[in-house]
Amino acid sequence: MSSVLFSPFSLGALGLRNRIVVSPMCQYSAVEGNATAWHRIHLGQLAQSGAGLLFIEATAVEAIGRITPGCLGLYSDANVTALRGVLDDVRMFSDMPIGIQLAHAGRKASSARPWDGGQLLPASQGGWATVAPSAIPHAAQEAPPQALDAEGLARIREAFIQAARRSAELGLQAVELHCAHGYLLHQFLSPLSNQRDDAYGGGLTQRMRFPLEVFDAVREVLPPAIPLGVRVSATDWVEDGWDLEQTLAFAHALKQRGCDWIDVSSGGLSPRQQIPIGPGYQVPLAEAVRAATGLPTMSVGLITEARQAEAIVADGRADLVALARALLWNPHWPWHAAAELGAQVKVPPQYWRSEPREARGVFANAAIGQR
């Protein structure tokens, strides 16, 4: 059989071997924003997965934009040095394209790691003051963030620019802006979190203004060969919040600015969300964005089975599938999917001998006549 999931695809000038993407996954294991040995192990493992593209986790563009004190950053020379060391080691054994997701957590910053409860951290416990479009807390019991003024907006815009330049300096091959999951750029988009009365709040055009300014600024400083995409939450799953209709308007505006893909997720902005979770529950959102804009789309969320992923791309509901927890559970998910779908993946020679007899031919680059 000929698998669409394992067919080549291009994001701008970047060619991918297949349609499987390693989604950005927070590891909460950095020190002062610096990558550590954990990132070397984590990214090194996923770089051998056989996917077409690997994204580094949501990476903060300034220190107060980290979700937790353990989140990765790209706001200092030390951050660059630490991440470069990790990438150099990973690239010694993998030619998989590596991208990065640039982010700012806004009012959801200064939180404890998930395994430490995930709650907002006060200064006495290593936390810091957070910022947002409006002084509205994420949860009612939390301290309100500081509403960003013109100086704060300019600082954050410049932080995204500098992080994009550092990404290019590191040789990263794709950049994604995080406009989803209730973080800062999503906070500007949603009327639930953005209640400003200036040029950055009010109607849809005003609420889209700052995220679009950030996109334009990042696109301007990135080399043309590095594609730039955006992750969105297509709906807040809350009445009177951000929804699919507004997402389509945002996606059209991004397309006009040269966006190379839309990574379609949902939720994360409000504790009041009501999400109808089930296998592939976000695929219809990606399908709607793709149909309305013609932009390449990634679909995420409870995509766990090979034939499920194959059907999504074969039926034209999305161009790529981005896996997260499924790849943590099984880092060789693409190997097994290739075996099931009659396709091939590229693997390092150290693993060639692992190919089982019933799956012979799955390793596209394996030598013949191994002893």
Tokens 């980290």: give the residue: 66
Catalytic residue among 183, 200, 281, 351: 183
How would DSSP label each residue in 81-131? HHHHHHHHHHHHS----EEEEEE--GGG-SB--GGGT-PBPPGGGT----E
Is residue 315 a contact partner of residue 273, using CB atoms and an 8 Å limit? no
- CA distances to 153, 334, 336, 350, 353 from 368, rounded to whole Å, are 58, 22, 20, 14, 11
Between CA 65 and CA 83 the distance in angstroms is: 18
For this structure, is 183 an active site residue?
yes
- C-alpha 255/C-alpha 289 separation (Å) is 11
According to DSSP, the β-strands at 9-11 and 14-16 are antiparallel
Alpha helix ranges (H) inside 203-349: 204-221, 244-256, 283-293, 306-314, 325-329, 333-341
Pairwise CA distance, residues 315 & 293, whole Å: 17
Residues with a known catalytic role? 183
